Structure 1
Amino acid sequence: MAARAHSDGDGRVERGNQTRRLILRRSVDTASVEGLGGLSLGRLATELQLSKSGVFALFGSKVDLQVATVRAAVAIYVEHVVAPALRLPPGLGRLWTACTSWLRYSRDRVFPGGCFFYAVSAEYDTREGPVHDAVATARSDWTRFLEETAREAQRTGELREDVDVGQLVFEMIAFMELANAESVMHRDDTYYDRAAKGITARVRASAVDPARLPEPALS
């Protein structure tokens, strides 16, 4: 009896985890288009044909749902953008791959509204509270990752020592986010090719050996 009760308990936990993942996948997609403010526990329950009480049991409040949505988006972002770069050794190749993986992630609409974090940043940039903090932390972590990746390239001798890493990363992010914004607005993917060319030119100008970077192709 004890073993059966334990098994039943494990089954309930797993079903709860599956439901949570289902809800968060819908919530990140919705927020990328409509913003985090457009989320509600009742709406998600209706759309996914779940009991409202069950959804409320998983997320105690709208703020809890919004913060969990940001964290779920971070996990998806890491899978599609950060992980491909980390498969390469430190150096210019890793830095370039981080940027081109970001452009593919936005172009391929991993989130229907383009980059999730670009979409929700303007919504929460002037606010205070846990949702703002979660979004700000995610953006800061991405910037720090690129900066550390660039510094690794300096340590490997592939990026010039006199390069202002903060400025380089700022410019690369500007290329990426402008491509995202223009593509979403105009339904035109050619902006990603423009961004790839701009990033590649900027990194080549900072490289010890510019020939080490491939041609800026996203296919």
Structure 2
Amino acid sequence: MILLRAAEIASVDGLEGVTIGRLAVELGMSKSGVFSHFGAKEELQLSTVHTAAEIFAREVVAAGGSVVDLSERWLDYSKRRVFPGGCFFVVTRSEFAARPGRVRDALMLFNLRWTSLLERLTGDAQLAFEVDALLAAADRFAVLYDDASAYERVRLALRARIAMPTGMEMSVATPNDNSIASHASSTI
């Protein structure tokens, strides 16, 4: 109960927004009652990361399957707002990216395990990176704009990218491409 609420708060306000005092008030407990479970804020943050990882594993990873299956479950996990602020790990990995310490290490380990799983499923580190980036983009766009259409756009992008043979270069329009230029000028 305490750690689930902590993870919910962190998904909105970051791990720094999770305090013993705030949890005590929101859960109707004494500060000493909450403190006795963790002892220090860093321990509370680490326990929150571990709880969020367990929830993520249950929601996204446990059923196994292909990278498409995991991506679908990840998008569903974000869309259903298992955590009210979207994906706990998208929020917190940004918050702690430049902060050395045990919390960053725990978040980094989670992310390394996640991207390693994607890499094993795709057989391609670049594709795994792109899948992770697209999923995170869907989450942030959908949360920021309260617009669930991001999930379908990312589904389409993932299908196209996963179907693309490894090593195949995407065509890129150049400023000399008249069809792109005429379309751009008519829409600006």
2:91 aligned with 1:119: yes
What is aligned with 1:102?
74
2:153 aligned with 1:194: yes
Q: Distance in 2 between matches of 1:194 and 1:102?
A: 14
What is aligned with 1:42?
21
Structure 2, unpaired ranges of 5+:
167-188
Once superposed, what is the RMSD of the aligned Cα atoms? 1.2
Q: Distance in 2 between matches of 1:98 and 1:206?
A: 20
1:148-187 CA deviation, whole Å, 9 max, x = no partner? 1223xxxxxxxxxxxxx01111111121111111111110
Displacement after TM superposition at 1:50 (Å): 1.2
The percent identity for this pair of structures is 41
How many positions carry a matched residue from both structures?
166
Q: Distance in 1 between matches of 2:33 and 2:136?
A: 37
Instruction: Give secondary structure in 1 for the equivalent of 2:164.
Output: helix
Displacement after TM superposition at 1:206 (Å): 3.1
Q: Distance in 1 between matches of 2:105 and 2:53?
A: 13
Give me the TM-score of the superposition, normalised by structure 2.
0.85
Q: Distance in 2 between matches of 1:205 and 1:123?
A: 33
Runs of 4+ in 1 over 3 A off after TM superposition: none
Counterpart amino acid of residue 44 in structure 1: L
Displacement after TM superposition at 1:130 (Å): 0.6
Give me the TM-score of the superposition, normalised by structure 1.
0.73
2:68 aligned with 1:68: no
1:45-95 CA deviation, whole Å, 9 max, x = no partner? 1211112222111111000000000000000000111013x1x4xxxxx11
Instruction: Give secondary structure in 2 for the equivalent of 1:112.
Output: coil
Q: Distance in 1 between matches of 2:23 and 2:133?
A: 34
